[in-house]
Amino acid sequence: HALDGYKFLRVDLDGRASSGDTFLYTVLLNEDGRLEDLRWRFYNADFHAGGQVLFDGQHATAVREVNDGRFEEEIELVNGVVFFFPAVLGLWLLKEKQLHTAVTLDMHSREPAEFMKLVSFPAELQQTDTTLQLQWAQQDRQLSFGKHGWPIHMARPDGLTAVEQRIAVYG
């Protein structure tokens, strides 16, 4: 149960059929729409991990458990350094932001000490009223927003797309 003005969001990325990897993110946005708490779980046949990232306005503090290891790090989020998590909704959090450096969770490395570690890199963000395009570390994503302001479509240059299927609003 979130306090008045807070929003709780959940993102399920079920890749069992394609890669065997499944991510679950739960997100708490404060009354100003800023990220306050991100929790994640990762499931795969032989690799299990989970963690939390807390935000205090100028810092992100991450704690994660990967297989039998526990890891912790902190990064400053000031002067155009902005965090997003690796999902369409995570990219949506960049809407109306100004940035020159992006921080995210490294979901590609399967080394326990590196998996879902906070990483930063130069990034370029372009926006209109209905689209957002982020380019970083040889990655490129374009989002389109619907009349409700939520993302309805994501596209990558390799042809992979994600399309809104359903939005459930409670309360």
Rounded Cα distance between 101 and 103, Å, is 7
Burial class of 96 by CB neighbour count within 10 A (0 to 12, 13 to 18, 19+): exposed
Domain ranges in the chain are: 7-163
pLDDT in tens, 112-143: 999 999 999 999 999 999 999 999 989 999 99
Rounded Cα distance between 116 and 107, Å, is 5
Rounded Cα distance between 3 and 96, Å, is 24
Q: Is the pLDDT of residue 75 over 60?
A: yes
Rounded Cα distance between 137 and 156, Å, is 14
Note the pLDDT of residue 106. Answer: 93
Note the pLDDT of residue 148. Answer: 85
